[in-house]
Amino acid sequence: MSTATMKTASSMAVRRKQLLLALKRVSQVIPKHSAKPILQGVRLEAVDGQLHLAATDMEVSVITAIEAEGMLPLCVVPCQELIKRLKASNADICSIKVNDEGDRFIFTRISQMECS
């Protein structure tokens, strides 16, 4: 099976409150309405024990990082959807799992999010 068609899944675990605070910080530059839907997303990548988050409105960018366990390849997800899911939970630890179907991880939906 070639790399382009191989399905893989990556996941990471993070403290829910830390992630929520980091998302609120980067979401300050995310426009409420945009002709470019990608601008309403937050870029996530978990490597070496850190979850890196970034957002931009094409003039200003906000970048931050928090502690995380696991690996999550570079992806852009809808920020408000992620915030809504985190607010709906009262768990301490949340895990995010993203499936790669051979395409780049850009503006993908979170295939699974569990908080426990």
Q: What CATH number corresponds to the domain at position 24? A: 3.10.150.10
Give the separation between CA 1 and CA 4, rounded to whole angstroms.
Answer: 8
Side-chain half-sphere CA neighbours of 53 within 13 A: 26
Structure tokens at 33: 């309405």
**pLDDT of 116 higher than 60:** no
Q: Is residue 1 part of a domain?
A: no
Q: Is residue 51 included in any domain, yes or no?
A: yes
Residue 34 is given by DSSP the state -
So what's the pLDDT on residue 99?
A: 66
Q: Which residues neighbour 107 within 8 Å (Cβ) at sequence distance 6 or greater?
A: 37, 38, 41, 76, 77, 78
Amino acid identity, position 51: L
Is 21 a residue whose pLDDT tops 50?
A: yes
Q: Which range of residues forms the domain containing residue 46?
A: 8-115
- Number of domains comprising the chain: 1
**Residue 2 belongs to a domain:** no
Q: For residue range 35-84, what is the model confidence (pLDDT) as tens digits?
A: 888 899 999 999 999 999 999 999 999 999 999 999 988 888 899 989 98
**Residue 101: per-residue pLDDT:** 58
